Each structure stands twice: as structure tokens, then as C-alpha cells.
Structure 1
């Protein structure tokens, strides 16, 4: 008995030691939100007041000092996120996650993001204002690396912390630029469809501009002073494994004083980005005698991409222009190191790169480059066949001044200064939205847009018969789509088709009119908007377009040929109001039915793999409404059956039966149980949370959530056969700035400020976000000081 007691005491002692050690570890690895720290190179003391949600309000005597403090506090909350983002463009993911990411590293290294970054940095004036602020931010970031606690993810992956450089800032921006591009998912797939099935199969896909849909209107009468297969299916899948943010879409609208109750501009923006933990934005408020900004920062980038102060507000949506193109190259049959260029044989450039791989030896790989870009054969496994395919990307081909643009945007004090910075954004294509305290509003499509010849289809891989000149002529920025102070007294963007540019339509991968149509429908009749109205609108989950599609589906059904069970389901769908609330059944029926229709339309011709690839494109989103309405599309034929052509009605009826069977299998025969909350859920995944044992610690959620694809509150998901709609992207913040009461402007983040799982701010906004709540973006110094949760003082060494 004494032996058992001794063993018991020993076990209790060990458990107590483990508990104490765990507690001490957690306390030592939390971010420091209070106290005093010495910061080298600081000129004067900086005070950082943290509010109840962990947002730092930074007060300094100089911009350099304030950005040094920002670098430190940003790093203590987001260093792991910074580490991953800087590794993508430089091919460093395999060193963290092992062999599964080698293909991803090869692809991003071949894109040349790292080389473009080094080239841009070599041309940077290191004594200029932008470089000075970048270096100050990096000083603070690197000081945290030198003296702060190592984030737990570094222990779990076994990698070392190393200092950040300005090149890392550019590499992070390069990855973000690539994540905007849609051409890499679309062009090779459409070329394969054309080659495999014939050009008639492209006619009913919404590839080109649709003149019947809602467009973003240009307005320039009030100018301001201007000073075969999807190539990266592998990459998309691999990046999904590590839960990194991919830019997807976005909404924004800006109301002129004539549209608002209080006679001041109201600005709204909710960029749609892939959900991950931590979420993409870090909020920070900086005040110095020369700089005032409440901004949203990407990890590792000092200048806010979204921001406002008492004078101006700005934000962005994705332009969705076509800045990625593919070329079939013609090899010299007598020399595989040469390709045809302008009628002669030119030498491929040969590039060799080294990839460090976790728990394995380094690997070297070599690829070729033509004048158009890297040859993807042998890099992207999906590129089959012997015809070399190269990839042209505006971001790496043209001079890179994007970081300079965001420095100037964040420092602009009026509309003229703001617009003078915009031509420096060559890629990615962005719709930059603007509003100010003087009553000005604006929308600007920013990108280098090349003048596409009428005979060139940019959605296909270029060959000798469909190929532009290798010398591209770009439009002057003044000819980009834009609107400043238009007569309708609002501007907006929902990634939809922009109006004509100097008599031409610019090709792109625009999203369907659904959100745009709803935005215009809500804005047009009302002229007394306030911030409460706008906050309700930004949460809108009503889809008139989905209702129209549902009516087209039901209209194809011969009511005399349906069973009693099918009649009840159709009655439930007829009663649906198009609103995706948690307790509605109509949205569940509609979504399951549409997927079955798409599968029955496309999969027989494309096969399972290419059908999945089509589902991931904007082309498919634009195609759903018109193809379901069409009676004559060649796609209605089921090529797996001997009949020459199935009727549209047959396919739609077959899909209804399959959808009902699927819903009954999942939820039983009671239609009242087929509610949206059971199928539409949001979980914010952390890279380490992919390990089942660590999922509940690192991931946030899952939560049932309102919304769906292509409503204003765009909680999107990939279509698949499971019938479970796991949200993959949505509003990365919902942000409303009201210049009649700018200090009470509001926002929300999807999870929280911190990426440190030991922080109280790791997920303290998650349920608020799901519930459609907001919190204040404080700018009043007296209020900030009196309501602060903690204060951290940085002092010179």
C-alpha cells in the first residue's frame, strides 16, 4: 500500500509540474500588451494604447518611431503569418512542411517573384521616404525576433527565426498579387475544352462581356488634377493545405453627401478573401504630428492597404482584369534549347533554383524561360503533352512600384494626391475606392491595361493563330475605367464588368452581376442613408438572381409528371424569398439542385477532374444563370447515353430527383429539417490545425452562418458532391466610415487581432462576426486613453 501511495505522490507531483510548466510557458509566450520596452534606433518615446480588442493605437513624435513600434507589435501578434507569407514567393514552404509542398515551391520560384523583388529593391532609393519607413518597420519587427518569445508554431515545425529584409516585403506583395489572378485557373482549361470538344462548347460559357448585365459606370466629366488542364490546380490545393489567404472578390460602395442623411460621405468596404487563422488584416492606428491613419495591414507590409483618417477613406476590391496569359511555344526540332520568336530561333534562358526540404536533402531543379515567361512543363504536373507552355504575368514583366504606391496612398491628404499615386499599381488589378470629408467620391480601376487586338481571345492559350504582338502597348492610366463624383451620387464595385474604356471593353474574369444588381437595387431608390442603414446593407443575404434561376428551374418541370414528394419540395422552393437565413429550407433545396444540374450538364463531357476545375472559375459563376435559362446549349446533351440530345427539361428533372434523394439521405424526409444552418458552416483553419489532435486548439469554429455565394454578405464555398457547404472565403473585414461621425466608424474582423493562440485576442471577434455585429474604430485620443485596456511604452535605448 505504501508503494502505491508513493507512486501516487510521484504522479501527482509530475502532473503538478506539467501544469505549472504549461502555465509558465503560456504566460511567457503571450504577446506583451503592457509594460515598458527599449527599442533600438528609437528617437523619442512611443506610447501604444491597446483597446479591448487588442488594436494598437500608436502615438509617436515621428513617423519612423511610430512605424518601429508598429513593426514590433505587429510581429508579436503575427510573426508566424509573416513567416509563411514571405516564404511563398521565395520557394520556402517545403522547408517548413516537407515534400508535399515541393511542387508549390517550384511553381512560385518559376514565376520569378523573388527575382522581381530583388530587381525592385535594387532600384529603390534607400534614403527615400518609403524605404525609410519600411526599414523602421523592419527594425521593430526584427527587434521582436531578437528578444521576444518564439511563437509556438516555430517549435512545432522546427524552423529557426531569421531577420526580415525589404526584399521580404516585396515577396509578400508578390504572393498577394498572384492570389488575385484568375487567368491561371481559366485559360488552360478553356483551351483544353476547345481542343477536346470543339469551339461550339465555348459559346455557351460566359467568357466574354455580357451587355445585358449590370456594369460599373465610368464618369470622367469632373476630372481631378493628375500629377491541358488548370495550370495551378496543384498550387491551389497545396496552398489550401497550409491555410493561406487567397483573394477572391469584394464589395465596396461610397455614398456622396446627396445620398446621406447627414450630408457627408459614407464609405463601405468588405474585401472577400480566403478564410484562414489568423485572418489577413492587422488593424493599427498611428498618430504623429505628420501622419494619422487607422489602417489595415497585411503581415510583413508596413503600409495599410485599407485605411482612413478624418480627411479621407480608401479601400479596394479586385478588378479581375486579365493580367496572366499563356503561350504555346514552338521548339526548334533540331535544338530543344531554342524556340521560335519573330520568325527566328531564340535561345531559352535556363534558370536553376535550390529548394530546402524539411527532413530531406535540398533539391535543385532547372526550368526554361522564353521572352513570355517560364515554361511550365515539368513544373506544374497538370501540364501534359510535349507542346511547351509559357506563362506571361504583368506583375513580374513590368516595373514594380506597388509598394511605393501604397506608401503614397497612405500619406495622401486629398483627392489629387491620392490619384497621383494610382498609376504606380501595375498589378494586381485593383478597384481602388475613395471618399473624403470634402464630399468627393471615386472609383479607379488600377492596373497596366494593354490594348488587346480585336482578333485576340485572351481566354485561350495563345498560338500562332491567336497571338498578340510580343511588344505590348499599355493604355495611359487616364483611360482606365473610373468614376469621380458621378451624377448618380455613388460609386460601387462588386468585381463585375466595368464600363467601356475609350470605346473598348477590357477583357477580364469578372464575377456575375448578382451582387452588383443587389447593390444597385438597394442604393438607387434611397437618398437618406446613415451608418446603421449601411451596416444592415453590408450584411444583406438576399439573392434576387438566385430566385430568378430557381424560377427557371421550376419552369422547366412538367408539374403533371412529378410525385407528391417532389410537389412538396417544389412548393417549399416557391415559398422561398431568396434570403439565406439560418432557418430557411429554400436555399438548401436550391443550392443542392443547382449543383446536380451543373454536374449533369458538364461532367459527362469534361470528366471529374476538369469538372472540378471548372467549378473553381469565375466563368462557371457567370455561366450558371444563362445556361440554365437556355434551351439550346450543346452542353445539355449527355454524351454518356446513346440519345442524340437530351432535353433541358429531362436533365433538370433528373437533377431534382437526385437533389431530393441526397437531402433525404442527409436529413430525412421532413423538409422542415433541411435548414441552411445544417449545411453552411464557417471554420477558420490554421496551418497547424490540419493535424487532428491540434485542430480544436488552433482552428476557430466551426459556426453555422448566414449568407451564400454571390450575395452582398458573400460567404462563399466550393461546390462539391458532399452537399456540405464549408465556407472558404468571405468578408475579411466589414468596414464602414461615416464622415459625419468619423470617430464612431465601425468594423469587424473574422476572428481577432492576434495570430498567437495564447492571446486573448486570438478569437474574441469570431462570434461577433458570425452574428453580424460591429465594433468601433476609435480615433479620439481622449477616449482611447480613458478606455484603454493596457499601455505599452517603447523608450529609446
Structure 2
């Protein structure tokens, strides 16, 4: 009996010891929000107050110390995110995730991002403030790597920490620029349609580009002063870092607000992931203050505000990538022809490290237009050399200066100057200030080709006639300053004409733009609360029109009572995507069947790439209206030409049958919340055992594709809609009460799974709630958590 008691006592001691050890270990993995830490290379101590959602409020004697502190605290919350994003452009994901990422690594390492980063860094002005602050930020990150605790993901994946460099930082800019682009998802598909189906099919498709446009108006006034398709999609779909997709922003002038001051709103649409894409931080020094939203490894916020001005962005969606068919020298495959000259391809040798496998070696050929995709994308089944010309790698890169200058502007004109230096990616820069200025600038280097050239198919690389003729001066870019409408906005829609023509691009459908205009125009007493509510709006003004056009084509003579009920629900629908609505469920399945029965027979395998592009969303409202179309005929049926009525009726019946099998016979029970879910996925959450610990969700949610609260999903055969992207933050800055401005992010501030701020905003985000972006120093200094970064003597 004594032996049993001793064994039991020993076991209790072991269990307690293991419990204490586990508690100590897991607590060591949390960010440090209190106490003192020694920091090298600072001139004075830096105080970091962490507020109730984990946002650091950095108070320093100078900006260099502040940015060094920012690097440190950013790293302690988001080091793993930094690790992943720096590896993408460099082609180093297979090094930690294995052979399944080799093809993605080949793509990104072959785009020329690394080479462009190296060239840019060689030419940097090392005496500039932007350079000094950026290197201080990197110093802070690297000091955390030396002295801070290692995130658990490094141990789970089996990767060692490495210090960060300016090249890593510029590679992030390159990845961001490429993820904004749409051409690589659209141009190869359109080119294939033109080549394989012919001009009749092709011309009917591209004819939609000048239809159903809500144009962003241009208007410049004075400042107010008071002082490849499938391959590309498959390769980018596996990325562990979210791509940039769309966005909304509007800035309401003083004459349209209740309190007579500007109200600023912005919600960039980015792929959902965990951690969330933005890291919030507030810096205050004697001569500078900014509450900013930072990308991993980027010291200067792309979104921000202080008591003087607010700024943000949406994707411009201009065309800055073109594909060229080169003509090889028949006598030497390492040469190509250009304007009757023989030129040598530049060759770049690449080595990709692969976890648990041999290194992968390959060679990239580069023409005057850019790298050949044939050597980068294994699935590119063509003998024609296809080169990708990308403005990001073609022109001088001042993107660091852009980020620095827009976050350090002293006036609207300062901000415009910073925005003018952006060459790529194209961004709509949105601005509002305490002096009642509002503005929008379409930033990016725009250019002209010959008038008859259609640039969304492959261009002729050898003739010399398909080259850029000239670049457009920034003053001719689409923009508006203090317009007579008293508001500016962008929803990734087509800007009004420049140089007497609409600038080509991959602009999104008019749904969100039209809704924003419909809501903003009639109202002249906007408040912060009104704007916050508008960011959660889930109504499309366009979709009811599409439904109406399709319903008009239905042959309902043999419809059952339940089918007729479904038709009535669609007919009476106002286009709102609330959880309790039934119509969105019917509509999305109906559209899936309609597009499949219209396009799949001609496009065959290519249809699956076409179906979820922004381009098909522009085709849909036009196609729904058409009575006559070459696409109505099913090429697989013999001696029969299908009509619109047959296609639409068949599509509705198939949709109804599917939903009845999926959700039951009671049409009233087909609620949107039963098929729409969102989950914020972590890179290691793909392992089934770790999913519930690292992923956030799944949740039911409100919203739909192309409403203001944009919940972006693919439409496929499953009948379930897994939201993959949406508002990466919602921000409202009211200059009549700037210290109580509002924001929210999808999950939480910290990327450390054991932090209390890992997902503490998730439910508030779903509910349409907000948290305060604190600027008031008294409130900030009342924070419970204070970390002192001590200057080493």
C-alpha cells in the first residue's frame, strides 16, 4: 500500500511538473506586452502602450527610435507572417513546405522580382529619410530574432530563423504588385478563345467591356489650404499569404456631413488568412504622428490617419502586364527576332531548395519584353515563346518613397506628389483632411499603344508594332480634387476618360460603385455611424435586373408549385444578401447552371478558369439581356440550335433540382446562411489535427459577391460558397471627432496563437461592430500594458 501511495505521489508530482513546464513554455510563446527589454541602437527609451485590442502605441523622442521599436513589436506579433511573405517572391516556399510548392516557386522566382529588387537597392539614396527609417525598422525585426522567443510555427514546420534585409522588403512590394494584377488570369484565356473559337465568339465576349459602366468622374479643383489562366490560378491558389483582390473607399466632403467635417471610409478587399493581413501601429514623436496599417515587412503604412489627414487605397485594376509571342531564330533557340534583328535571350540560372528532396534547377530565358513563361509554367502547352512584360520590373521603382511620402505628407499637394511616384501596382489613392479637402488619385504609370491594338490577347513580339508608344504624365491620370459632388469614391470600377478615351484595364462590375453612388448622392447629413453602417451594406442594385432578364426568358408552363414559388422569390428579391434571405441561394445556383449551359460546351476545360474571373462578371448582365447569341447553341447537340429560352429554362430546372436535393423540399428553408461560410486559414492549419487551433472559424456570415460588404467566393458544382476574401479592415475617420475614429480587422492583431489578441476581433467583425483607433494620449497612457524598450547605455 505504501508503494502504491509513493507511486501515486510521484505521478502527481510528474503531472504537476509537466503542467508547470507546459504553462511556462506556452506563456513564453506569447508576445511581451509588459516590462522592460533592452534594445540596441536607440538614443532614448521608447514607451509602447498596448491598448485593449493589442495595438502598440509607440512614443519616442525621434522617428528612428520609433521605427526601430515598430520593427521589434511587429516581429513579436507577426514574425511567421513575415517569414512566409518574404519567401514568396524569392521562390523559397518549397524549402519549408516541400515539393508541392515547386511550381509556385518557379513562377514567382521567374518573374524578375528579385532581380528588380537588387537593381533598386543598388540605386537607393542611403541618406534619405525613407532609407534610414526602413533600415531602423529592419534592425528592430532582427533584434527580435536575436533575443525574442521563436513562434511555434518554426518548430512545427522545421525552419530556422534568418535575419531580414532590404531585399526581403522589396520582394514583398513585388509580390503585392503581382497579386494586384489581373492580366495573367484573363489574357491567356481570351487569347485561347480567339484562337480556338474564332472572332464571332471572341467579339461577342469582349463587346461587354463598354457596357453597364458606372464611371468614376474626373474633376480637378484647387486645394483648400489653411497652411494563363488555369496555370496561373492554380499556382497562386496554394499561396499561404493572401492575395489582394478589390476594395471600396469613399470620402465625403464637409458639405455632405452632419458635423461639417470630412468623413473618410476604406475597406480594402484581400484574401482572408490568419493572421490578418494588416498590423496596426500608432507612432508619436515630437514632430510626427500616424496611426497606420502595415503589411508584413513594410515599415510605412499603406493605410493611415492622424489628426490632420487620412488616406487609404483601392486597387486601380489598370492593365500593367502584357504577353508577347516571341519568334525564335530557327537556327538558334537561344536567340529571337525583333524588327529584323537577331537578339540573344538573357539566361538566368535558378536553384530552388526543396524540403526533403534534391534542389530543383532551371533556367529562365528573358527577352526584351520579359521572362518567357514557357520556362516558368510547366503546364503551358505551347511551343510559341510567350514573354511577360510587367511595368513593375520594367521601370524605376520608387515604391518605398511612395509609402514614406504618403504617410509623412504635410498637405494634399505633398500627398499627391508621393502618389505620383507609384509606377506599379496601380492603386486608387484616397485622401481626406481636417481642412475639408477630399481627393482621389489613380496612381500608376499609364501608357499608350497604337489605337487599334487590343492588349488583352497576346501581342506580336517580333514586329515592333505592338510596343508602348509613350507614357502618360501623372497629371493626366484619372483623379478628382474637391469635386462639385462633394464626395469621391472608388469600387475598382472604370474611371472616366483620360486623353479622350477610357483607359483599358480589368475594372470590376458596376454593382458596388452604383450602390455607393445611390447611397451617397441624395444624403447631405452623413455621420460616422451612418458611414460605419454603410460599410456593412449587402444590397446589389444590379443583380435584381439580371434576375428579371433571366426570369423573362423562362418557360414556366410545366413548372411545379414549388418551382413557381422559387421564381416568385427571385422576382421579388431586392438584391440583398442577408443571412435569412432565400433568394441568394437560388440565384447563385441558377447563375452557375446558366453560365455552364451557355459557355462550357464551347470552352470545355477552359470554362472552369473562365467561370470565376472578374471578366465573367462583366459578361453576365449583358448575356442575360441578349436574345440572340452565338453562345446559346450547344455545340454537342446535332441538328439542333438551342434558344435562350431553352438554355435559361433548363438551367433553372437543374438549379431547382440540385437545391431540393441539397437543402430539402421546403423552398423557404433554403436560407443563405446554410450555404455561405468563412474560415480564416493559417498555413499550418491545413494539417487536420492543427486546424482547430490555428484557423479561425468557420463562421456563417452576411454578404455576397460584389456588394459593399463584399464576401468573395467561387461558384462551383458543390453548391456551397466558401468565402475566400473580403474587407481586410473597415475604417471610418471622422474629422469632427478624429480621436474616436473606428476600425475593425477580421480576426485579431497578433499572429501568435497563444496571444489573447489572436482572434479577439473575429466576432465583432462578423457582427458589423468596430473598435476605437486611439489617438488621445491620456487614454493611451491609461492602458494596462506598458512595454519599455530601454536604450542600451
Mapped pair 1:487 → 2:481: no
C-alpha contact (below 8 Å) 1:188/1:231 kept by paired residues: no
CA distance in 2: counterparts of 1:777 and 1:120, whole angstroms: 35
1:790 aligns with 2:789: no
Instruction: Quote the residue 1:778 is aligned against.
Output: 774
Q: Is the 8 A contact 1:234 1:380 kept in 2?
A: no
In the alignment, the residues of structure 1 paired with residue 18 and residue 234 of structure 2 have an alpha-carbon distance, to the nearest angstrom, of 42
Unaligned stretches of 5+ residues in structure 2: none
Shift, 1:206, TM fit? 4.6
1:374–1:391 Cα contact (<8 Å) kept? yes
* 2:643 corresponding residue in structure 1: 647
Q: Does 1:30 align with 2:18?
A: no
SS in 1 for 2:447: coil
- Residues of 1 paired with 2:465 and 2:735: CA distance? 47
Q: Does 1:540 align with 2:537?
A: yes
* Deviation per residue, 1:473-522 (Å, 9 max, x gap): 11011110001111111000000011000212111000000000000000
RMSD of aligned Cα (Å): 1.7
Q: How does 1:119-138 map to 2 (within 5 A)?
A: 119-138=119-138
Equivalent residue for 2:335?
Answer: 338
Flag the 1:6–1:590 CA change in 2: closer, same or farther, 3 A.
Answer: farther
Determine the structure 1 residue equivalent to 2:271. 274
The 8 Å contact of residues 374 and 390 in structure 1, kept in 2 or not, is answered as yes
Q: After superposition, what is the alpha-carbon deviation per residue over 1:112-160, rounded to whole angstroms, capped at 9, x for unaligned?
A: 1111111111111122101100011111111110000000110011111
2:388 is aligned, of 369, 388, 391, to 391
Counterpart in 2 of 1:425?
A: 422
Q: Is the contact between residue 747 and residue 758 of structure 2 (CA under 8 Å) also seen in structure 1?
A: yes
1:741 pairs with 720, 737, 744, which one?
737
Secondary structure at 2:220's aligned position in 1?
A: coil
Q: Offset at 1:575?
A: 3.3
Q: 2:623 matched to 1:619?
A: no
> Is 1:44 aligned to 2:44, yes or no?
yes
Matching residue of 2:666 = 670
1:299 and 2:293 correspond: no
Stretch deviating more after TM superposition (457-466 or 254-263): 457-466
Q: Distance in 1 between matches of 2:595 and 2:766?
A: 30
Of residues 643-652 and 763-772 in structure 1, the stretch that sits farther from structure 2 once superposed is 643-652
Unaligned runs of 5+ in 1: none
Structure-1 separation of matches of 2:319 and 2:527? 36
Call closer, same or farther: CA 1:408–1:561 in 2, change over 3 Å: same
Tell me how far apart the structure 1 counterparts of residues 7 and 718 of structure 2 sit (CA, whole Å).
51
Contact 2:208 2:618 in 1 (8 A): no
Give, in whole Å, the separation in 2 of the partners of 1:22 and 1:510. Answer: 52
Q: Look up the match of 2:696.
A: 700
Distance 2:284 2:543 in 1: 46
Residues 206 and 620 in structure 1, CA contact (< 8 A), matched pair in contact too? no
Aligned to 2:79: 79
For 1:768, which of 759, 764, 770 is the aligned residue? Answer: 764
1:581 to 574, 578, 581: 578
1:508 and 1:569, CA in 2 relative to 1: closer, same or farther beyond 3 A?
Answer: same
SS at the partner of 1:233? helix
Q: 2:592 aligns with which of 587, 592, 595?
A: 595
Structure 1 residue 471 displacement after superposition: 5.0
Q: Is the 8 A contact 1:303 1:406 kept in 2?
A: yes
Contact 2:224/2:437 (8 A) holds in 1: no
CA distance in 2, matches of 1:207, 1:376: 28
2:432 corresponds to 1:435: yes
Aligned CA distance change for structure 1 residues 233 and 8 (closer, same or farther; 3 Å) = farther
Partner of 1:507: 504
The aligned residue for residue 60 of structure 2 is 60
Distance 1:38 1:464, change over 3 A: closer
Q: Assess, with a 3 A threshold, how the Cα gap between structure 1 residues 508 and 41 changes in structure 2: closer, same or farther.
A: same
State the Cα distance separating 1:612 from its structure 2 match: 1.8
Matched, 1:751 2:747: yes
Counterpart-to-counterpart distance in 2, 1:211 and 1:101: 40
- 1:238 maps to what in 2? 238
Distance 1:674 1:2, change over 3 A: farther
Quote how far apart the aligned CAs of 1:22 are: 2.2
TM-score (norm 1): 0.97
What corresponds to 1:261 in structure 2?
258
Aligned partners of 1:464, 1:133: CA distance in 2, in Å?
42
Partner of 1:117: 117
Change (3 A) 1:289 1:628: same
Query: Are 2:551 and 1:554 aligned?
Result: yes
2:365 maps to 1:349: no
What whole-Å deviation, never above 9, does each CA across 1:573-622 have from its counterpart, x for those lacking one? 233332111111111111111111111111111123x1121123211111
What is the match of residue 560 of structure 2? 563
Q: Counterparts in 2 of 1:348-367, with a 5 A limit?
A: 348-367=345-364
Size of the aligned set, in residue pairs, is 790
Q: What displacement does 1:14 show?
A: 5.1
- Give the Cα–Cα distance (whole angstroms) in 1 for the partners of residues 464 and 181 of structure 2: 20
Over residues 531-574 of structure 1, what are the superposed CA-to-partner deviations in whole Å (9 max), with x where a residue is unaligned? 11111111100112111111112111133332222112112223
Per the alignment, residue 463 of structure 1 pairs with 460
Which of residues 654, 657, 665 in structure 2 aligns to 1:658? 654
The C-alpha deviation readout for 1:157-189, integer Å capped at 9, x for no partner, is: 111101111111101111011100000001011
1:35-89 deviation per Cα after TM superposition (whole angstroms, max 9, x unaligned): 0111100101111111100011110000001111110000000000001111111
CA drift at 1:211: 5.1
Would you say the 8 A contact 2:224–2:436 is kept in 1?
no
CA change 1:356–1:201 in 2 (3 A) is same
Cα distance in 1 between the residues matched to 2:507 and 2:463: 22
Kindly tell me: are residues 779 and 468 of structure 1, through their superposed partners in 2, closer, same or farther at Cα, counting changes over 3 Å?
farther
Q: Secondary structure at the match of 1:448?
A: coil
Alignment partner, residue 185 of structure 1: 185
SS of the aligned residue for 2:753 comes to coil
User: What is the deviation of 1:13?
Assistant: 5.4
Displacement, 1:33? 0.5
